[in-house]
Amino acid sequence: MLGAIGSFLVTGAMISAIYALIAIGFTMIFGVGGVLNLAHGGLIMLGAYGFLVVTSSSTVEFLAIPPIAGLAVAIAVGAVASYGLYVGLVEYIEDNPVITFLATLVVALILAELAIVAFSSSPRGLVNLAPGSSGQSVGLRVTNLEIVAFVTSWVAIGLLWYYVTRTDDGRSILATSMSQRGAQLTGVDLPSVKAKTWLIAGALAGLAGVFIGTLQQTSPTMWLDPLALAFIIVVIGGIGSIKGSIVAAYLIGYLETLTVTLLGSGFRGTFSLVVLVIVLLVMPQGLFGREWVHE
Amino acid sequence: MSSDTQTGGSLESVADGYNDRFGHLFGELNGPQFALLIGSLVVLLAAPVWTSLLGAGGLLRTLALASIWAILAMAWDIQSGYTGYISFGHAVLSGGAAYTTAMLVAHVNPDLPFLVTAPISVFAALVIGLVIAIPSLRLRGPYFSLVTFVAGLIFYQLTYAFSGYTGGELGQRVGRIEFELAGAQVTTFDPVTRYYVMLVPMLVIAVALLYVARSNVGMILIAIRENEEAVAAAGIDTTKFKIWSFVLSSIPMGVGGVLLAHFYGSVNPLNFLLVDRSIEIIAMAVVGGMSSILGPIGGAFLVIVLREEVLGVFGVTGRWVALWTVVLLVLVFARDGLFRKLWHILGDRGRADGGDDE
């Protein structure tokens, strides 16, 4: 019994840490630019496939770098793609939320189809960063990869927190998310701040892609679940709030773990969706959010 | 005077005759616009003739499919295009109707006639529409879109969770349409009949939605999109009208869903409930021109013909990449839609007594 509760607590924490990674980038982009980036799941997918290409010789024969270096590649792929998406597309259309909505979603669909062209539609296995598992001695079943994901997630969140609150460069992002006008008046270069936000969000997405790709699956349809999760978490936490996203990520992570433990994996997402609908109806601004202002 | 202006002149007089009688109901037209409409109508009605002359029998199937998608795109437009509340989950409505038909056939009685299953299925779409609309329309901006998106995901999951009833991933057989009309047997096993069974409802729905869009209801929906506070301040219950727009949308969505189920002869989550289907509906409306009813028809025919007939050169998957790329380009470079642009070019050319309705 104690072991079961312990396993539940640990498994929940591990999956929640990855959910936090997914949601933070999504919420930052909304907080700073007011844009809901529906291609976020696509960036996560790019990270996973980027990792696949460089670490496994199955795609490019002579290319099989160590998984740790592959992680760096995945982060870079996510960051560059995200940055490119902003300066190549979103920058020109962000004045119209409806068009931005649709365009980013269409980008996600294009990425998914391209993934089918390049890697076929069947799921692929990623090289495990940290094979094996530990914790058996105390009655817990945790894979080493989950531990790595947990630690990496908190390191990433810590670095982000340091950057945003302790450096001038990062503070300009924080300021913009509070008041675009105010930030502009104090001399913040808005386009560069937005581009930086997309870069960071893409990096986090690429990182999350490797963990999701290894723990769940790497396939051309893998963009949808993370996107739905990002939605759910961000709305529950409050759109634009990083703190809210972390709290909500753990809430949803534990809820899903509980659902899977009690009802089986077929109902994994259903309860999160129901919770989302309830939160939207009762407190649409979320736990830590501001009311969405239509400009 | 060249002959060009003379034909233009006679066109104007025909168009004026139309305007006098129906202009106040469906919007005024000028000569070239009228010619485009009548021309398209003739081309559509005569499609079995010219496709068989061209020896392109497959094209008739594509046009039948495009007619169904035109219904869906128009239905989305009267809700999302007119009110500005963008729904990402409309495939749930058509999918719900399609699945109702399938489950009636599979679990109640395989011999249920089309004239019984179709109305029940459309009613099911209406009920699902209300279930989604009543809670979600209290929300604004992106939140509304999020909930409709989530509704799509929930329904998609449910088809797998209850695969005992829905057939899960494989889906369920529906069969073709067969019914008697004025003593004659109508069956969609025949490609030409099938085409008309899909085309005629599309035209009827187009006329009905155009009428609604030009009526006071349509005006209020547009006003809600432009400035909801102002409409509310004028003492109009905006929630009531938004729900009305959803109801108005659910009925044709249901019709489209039923037709689509019989067109394919079966239903499955991939063809009916996947998020991509909702986005396809939106893409057609946006490519044609949102909030115009006629634009989505043009968008649907363009997108389906491209997908089925033209982009096949890029391969099975490549055609989707090409299609979504085209949609993306239209979104960025022609936000108001291709057919609206064409419409206004015609409007400017034949401006005699101002057929402008925007």
In sign, the C-alpha dihedral spanning A171, A174, A179, A184 is positive
| CB within 8 Å: B321 and A266 | no
Report pLDDT for B64: 92
Report pLDDT for B151: 84
Is B6 inside any structural domain? no
Tell me how far CA of residue A192 lies from CA of A13, A30, A94, A170, A197, in angstroms: 35, 15, 15, 12, 9
* Residue A66 near residue A57, CB atoms below 8 Å: no
In sign, the C-alpha dihedral spanning A97, B257, B27, B238 is negative
Report pLDDT for A178: 81
Is A108 inside any structural domain? yes
Is A171 inside any structural domain? yes
Is A286 inside any structural domain? no
Q: Tell me, rounded to whole angstroms, the distance of Cα B74 from its chain centroid.
A: 3
Does the pLDDT at position A175 exceed 70?
A: yes
In sign, the C-alpha dihedral spanning B6, B7, B12, B17 is positive
Does the pLDDT at position B1 exceed 50?
A: no
pTM listed for this prediction: 0.85
Tokens 């936490």 label which residue? A237
Residues of A engaging B, defined by a Cβ cutoff of 8 Å:
36, 89, 92-93, 96-99, 101-103, 105-107, 109-110, 113-114, 116-117, 224, 228, 231-232, 235, 239, 266-267, 269-270, 273-274, 276-277, 280-281, 284, 292, 294
Confidence of residue A203 (pLDDT cuts 50, 70, 90): very high
| CB within 8 Å: A89 and B332 | yes
Report pLDDT for B355: 42
Mutation to test the B interface, candidates A89, A96, A98, A279, most B Cβ within 10 Å = A98
Higher pLDDT, A289 or A159: A159
Confidence of residue B3 (pLDDT cuts 50, 70, 90): very low
B161 touches chain A (CB under 8 A): yes
Report pLDDT for A200: 95
Winning range, highest mean pLDDT, from A150-154, A214-218, B337-341: A150-154
Coil/strand/helix, residue B178? strand
| CB within 8 Å: B138 and A281 | yes
Its domain, for residue A19, covers 2-221
Report pLDDT for A16: 93
Burial class (CB in 10 A: 0-12, 13-18, 19+), B72: buried
The whole-angstrom separation of Cα B50 and Cα B32 is: 23
Does the pLDDT at position B108 exceed 80?
A: yes
* Residue B222 near residue B82, CB atoms below 8 Å: yes
The whole-angstrom separation of Cα B254 and Cα B50 is: 30
Question: Could you give the number of structural domains in chain A?
Answer: 1
By C-alpha distance, the chain B residue nearest A293 is B141
By C-alpha distance, the chain B residue nearest A117 is B317
Question: Could you give the number of structural domains in chain B?
Answer: 1
Whole-number average pLDDT of chain A: 86
Is B3 inside any structural domain? no
Mean pLDDT is lowest, of A81-85, B22-26, B43-47, for B22-26
Mutation to test the B interface, candidates A35, A113, A276, most B Cβ within 10 Å = A113
Report pLDDT for A168: 86
Does the pLDDT at position A30 exceed 80?
A: yes
* Residue A39 near residue A108, CB atoms below 8 Å: yes
Mutation to test the A interface, candidates B76, B131, B324, most A Cβ within 10 Å = B324
| Region class of B215: left (phi > 0), else alpha (psi between -120 and 50), else beta | beta
Helices B191-214, B238-264: crossing angle, 10 deg rounding: 170
Is A204 inside any structural domain? yes
Task: Please give the backbone phi and psi of residue A122, each rounded to the nearest 5 degrees, phi first.
Answer: -80, 145
Residue A120 distance to chain B (closest CA, Å) = 10
Residue A263 distance to chain B (closest CA, Å) = 12
Q: Which of B139, B161, B321 sits opposite A266 (nearest CB)?
A: B161
Coil/strand/helix, residue B148? helix
| CB within 8 Å: A101 and B317 | no
Mean pLDDT of B10-21: 74
By C-alpha distance, the chain B residue nearest A238 is B143
* Residue B80 near residue B86, CB atoms below 8 Å: yes
Report pLDDT for B350: 60
Report pLDDT for A294: 37
Report pLDDT for B207: 92
* Residue B282 near residue B253, CB atoms below 8 Å: no
Q: Where are the alpha helices (DSSP H) in chain B?
A: 3-18, 24-26, 31-45, 47-54, 57-76, 82-83, 91-103, 114-136, 142-161, 163-166, 191-214, 216-226, 228-233, 238-264, 269-272, 275-288, 294-305, 318-333, 338-349
pLDDT tens profile A237-251: 887 788 889 999 999
pLDDT tens profile B253-276: 999 999 999 999 889 888 888 888
> Which candidate, B289, B304, B346, B303, places its Cα nearest to that of B36?
B346
Does the pLDDT at position B25 exceed 80?
A: no
> Which candidate, B1, B33, B44, B174, places its Cα nearest to that of B99?
B174
Mean pLDDT of A71-93: 94
Q: Supply the Cα-derived Rg of chain B in whole angstroms.
A: 21
Its domain, for residue B275, covers 30-351
Tell me how far CA of residue A255 lies from CA of A43, A266, B8, in angstroms: 25, 14, 68
Task: Please give the backbone phi and psi of residue A126, each rounded to the nearest 5 degrees, phi first.
Answer: -95, 155
Does the pLDDT at position A17 exceed 90?
A: yes
Is A284 inside any structural domain? no
Whole-number average pLDDT of chain B: 84
Is A27 inside any structural domain? yes
Does the pLDDT at position B325 exceed 80?
A: yes
* Residue A149 near residue A17, CB atoms below 8 Å: yes
Does the pLDDT at position A2 exceed 60?
A: yes
Is A233 inside any structural domain? no
Is B129 inside any structural domain? yes
Q: Check which CATH number belongs to the domain holding B234 and give it.
A: 1.10.3470
Higher pLDDT, B105 or A132: B105
pLDDT tens profile B125-171: 999 999 888 888 877 777 788 788 888 888 888 888 788 888 877 88
Residue A267: other Cβ atoms inside 10 A: 15
